[in-house]
Structure 1
């Protein structure tokens, strides 16, 4: 029997064993994974080995072992067949079986065996280098990679690009950078060699080296867009103006470079140069008028620029052109409707969001707009139907429901909603805090304090929990030393928070430390001219004897907040005849 006929017979027998009692598939070569790669390789030099019963039996056992899941046995059988036949096709199959076994050493051994049988195979060389890298054998990998580069120096540029793709996933970026720098030394006139080093230097965090290398690449190939792109990307981190200039200069001479223009448009957007960014996206859209993605990008920038008309036109164009993610478009059309103060339009678009990342946000906006229109029950029902995907969203739904009820002056109902939420999520910080705030508002001071102390235990750095508890005591004028200690602790945790400064200033007032109180309240008022802070500052000034200044603080704040009841009450308390 001829050798080629015997191999076909092997495949037919294997198919029969694997598929019985089903009808066998058409015959295939013994090494299917490698056969596709072999098409671009040198013509195989096949050994003149007769197919003995022993070889046929061993081949069938190897394949059956592989199909039955005995990967180690199959790999050993494949390696033994290669030793006996020196057949390159079996060598490829043996390498595949060794990979499937999961034994890195066996895979390396099988690939070296393949290389010995088929020394001119670039696929074998690349697979061996890749496997050595995965096994952490960098010195051995470097030797194999050097052979690959040397074997085809005419294609050194292409090979360095492939080399980067091969080594980039390696976890030790510094080690692999060193490896490629050594490989690149003999190829100083190859732009792609400098590009590969620059890419790896960037991954290793060595931006100066990356910038030097990519500039060397550009000297060798000034108009190479991949080098231009990387140089601009590196510059954008520390010198964004230079990065933008690199892209702008290249586009001046290469106006049709679409990928560079897209990078330029995005870079301008990152630098908040909205008008210039939109101009570039519009140029791209002129050459790609059917692109819904470009229309969507222009719309979002227009929204950022408060160009509502322009944004609306582009969003509708994105819908018309069939943007795949139409839910996003509908969400932003809803946002646009709100910006235009057209609540009917906003509601209509939000209701069209059926899925995707903006579904939850759209549901919240619908509930808010319904409540704003006085349809509180409908808003609450809508919230109850909303689909939360995690605990954070579940808590957000509870907090919003409580907020809507609170705004409707249904404080007790809001409190009950949060209490029920705490039964399911008893340690959630946001639920604890908001429930404590409502308990305090309802006069349930013991419950409020218990919840806040639990929150402090769970999150010892929660400044607002300390502040809320301390301020509650100060407002009721009880346990003043303890209250002051709490708000001062809050200020240590959040030293720039104006609301906490107000609490500390109020604590000094309750403690009789008027000068310190005025000083702290002035800081708070400068940071946040809130009417409550104005009320406190005015009161302390009045008590200290600075009545004219107190009147001015109160009056200025009342002019800015004419309906504030707390401010009005304080003014009446101290100035009424």
Structure 2
């Protein structure tokens, strides 16, 4: 049998003694736990863990605050718990991502101080110093960033160009940026590189006199520096001195191919500021210097197209269809030219030749439009379905394209069904709601269209397209012109040059009897877009002003460009007398 040990029961006195000891042990344990919890290591670990948990919830601001608290604690202890550099870097990156420059800057300064050769640290410190209006910090970190990038002329120039980039693009700080760039140059070891940075900053803020003054000694000190000459040329071009810009480039030495590149860069800049004729001339110079340069030839073709020389543009694009770099793009633009000239078969052939690359998506979209316009609606829808399989990320855009084709073909009910099905799977998607609103309007269900647009604005109160669409809807289908104008102006505030929004504003002003303002806005819209609906509106304003001949001329010119527009035909019929 098993032996059973007999344990004597404790006496009542012993039990009372144990009871007396328990509270003391508990207190000691609690004191130890409290001490441990309040120790720097535990508090720092707590904030780091809280920061990581906030990150897991995508609460970036809270994560930044927790990490900043951990960094502050870590900096105050004699023996830091975490590596100060690692924690500072982590805090800085989290705070930058959270768009909390107030928290990021102290962390970045610590990170940059401990990692003098870390380019990312020095760049972040420089940028945040500027964002936080710390002029002394900018002056301190600019040369440190340049040293981190590395020695040598090329790297120094690269560093100062980056410094210029960091000081640019903030119009509210333009005066401060230029003043800081001047101080940076004054303190710089390489006055030429820093002078180029000053010229870049001033040019970016349209301070052309300062930019010209800064770049002149740079060119004198570094006559071989092509970027400096190009900047000087851009300054002259911006100041409307195109001949001086060309003379600046002429002073550059180099091979014919190099000179062609310089002229092509000037050409692109001239086109970007609306100097189409001058830009075209520069591309012609580039091609004459390097006839085999396909980039220059493609630029010339685009410039001719933009300069409304479709026949010359077509010839230039045709010469590029077999080019490896630009063949697909050339075929796309040849399709566009053919489509605009009413040659549907030629357009279709060119769009089908686009086999890959950046232009494939647009080429297939245009192909579908051409097919639908030729009465091949099913083929057009099949083209878009095939494109959706190739580009699933564009599914909503392609659904909208299908719906538009259906609506234009008089099948708005099918378009509405497409949107209803899509919204059943993705409720509240603004783009889909916008498309459905248009479908509702085309079917005459104005209340449903208005409801969809109102829903968009509840989700995205500043959605410019929805603001404009609702304003235009109210203009055409209600008498609430005051609200309509308010909505349209909110949209225009975001996109002040948008032709459709200018048209909406002009139309609601016409409805309210402000013919002068209506004409001014509609003329701007028509000059920008030339859309037949804008032409109808502008003609109505001129007619209301008593200039019937000008109104008819606007409508007739628009009809010549859009011979199938039924609304224009009806407008001309209505205003015969």
2:506–2:519 contact (8 Å) kept in structure 1: no
Structure 2 match to 1:412:
413
Give the equivalent residue in structure 1 for 2:344: 343
Instruction: Provide the residue aligned with 2:470 in structure 1.
Output: 466
Aligned-partner Cα distance in 2 for 1:426–1:454: 11
**Cα root mean square deviation, aligned:** 5.0
Asked if residue 356 in structure 1 is aligned to residue 328 in structure 2, the reply is no
Matched, 1:201 2:182: no
Cα distance in 1 for residues equivalent to 2:120 and 2:518: 66
What is the distance in 1 between the residues matched to 2:547 and 2:340?
39
Post-superposition CA distance 1:86-108 (Å, at most 9, x none): xxxxxxxxxxxxxxxx9978876
TM-score when normalising by structure 2:
0.56
2:484 counterpart of 1:487 = yes
Partner of 2:69: none
Residue 497 of structure 2 corresponds to: none
CA shift in 2, pair 1:215/1:446, >3 Å: closer
* Aligned-pair CA distance for 1:283: 1.6
Give CA-to-partner distance per residue, 1:157-193, whole Å, 9 cap, x none.
x944443335654687677874564344xxxxxxxx4
Task: Describe the SS at the equivalent of 1:199.
Answer: helix
Q: Is the 8 A contact 2:192 2:222 kept in 1?
A: no
In structure 2, the residue matched to 1:187 is none
Shift of the 448–220 alpha-carbon distance from structure 1 to 2, 3 Å rule, reads: closer
What's the CA shift for 1:309? 5.0
- On the 8 A contact 1:198/1:209 being kept in 2, the answer is no
Matched position secondary structure for 1:323? coil
- Which segments of 5 or more consecutive residues in structure 1 lack a partner in the other structure? 1-71, 73-101, 109-126, 150-157, 185-192, 475-479, 509-515
TM superposition shift of 1:292 = 3.1
Give yes or no for contact 2:339–2:347 (8 Å, CA) kept in 1. Answer: yes
Tell me the equivalent position of 1:268. 267
Distance in 1 between residues matched to 2:144 and 2:506, nearest whole Å = 66
Say whether residues 1:164 and 2:164 are aligned partners: no
Displacement, 1:454?
A: 1.4
Q: Is the 8 A contact 2:328 2:356 kept in 1?
A: yes
Instruction: Answer yes or no: is the 8 Å Cα contact 1:455–1:465 preserved in 2.
Output: no
From the superposition, tell whether residues 426 and 169 of structure 1 become closer, same or farther in structure 2 (CA, over 3 Å): same
Residue 491 of structure 1: how far off its partner (Å): 5.2
Aligned length: 410
SS of residue matched to 2:364 = helix
**Preserved contact between residue 292 and residue 319 of structure 1 (Cα < 8 Å):** no
CA contact (8 A) 1:327 1:352 kept: yes
Residue 366 of structure 1: CA displacement? 0.9
* 2:388 counterpart SS class: coil
Superimposed CA distance per residue, residues 488-534 of structure 1 (whole angstroms, 9 cap, x where no aligned partner): 4345446883444444654x6xxxxxxx5888887788777754787
Deviations 1:534-562, CA, capped at 9 Å, x for gaps = 77998xx8xxxx9xx79999988987779
- Indicate the residue corresponding to 1:297 in structure 2: 299
- TM-superposed CA distance for 1:369, in Å, is 1.2
Gap runs ≥5 in structure 2: 1-82, 84-109, 127-136, 168-176, 493-500, 527-533, 560-564
Q: What does 1:94-493 align with in structure 2 at a 5 Å threshold?
A: 159-166=152-159, 168-169=161-162, 178=183, 181-184=186-189, 193-205=190-202, 211-220=212-221, 225=226, 227-241=228-242, 243-250=244-251, 254=253, 256=255, 258-269=257-268, 270=270, 271-272=275-276, 273-286=278-291, 289=292, 291-308=293-310, 310-320=312-322, 322-339=323-340, 341-387=342-388, 393-461=394-462, 462-471=466-475, 473-474=477-478, 480=479, 483-490=480-487, 492-493=489-490
Q: Distance in 1 between matches of 2:440 and 2:120?
A: 64
- 1:317-365 Cα shifts (integer Å, max 9, x gaps): 4344x42353323323323443554433332232232322111101101
Task: Give runs of aligned pairs for residues 83-102 of structure 1, distance below 5 A.
Answer: none
Deviation of 1:379 (Å): 0.6
Looking at structure 2, the residues matched to 522 and 133 of structure 1 have their Cα atoms a distance apart, in angstroms, of: 50
Tell me the distance in 1 between the aligned counterparts of 2:459 and 2:199: 41
Distance 2:486 2:516 in 1: 18
Q: What is the TM-score normalised by the length of structure 1?
A: 0.56
Q: Which residue of the partner structure matches residue 113 of structure 1? A: none
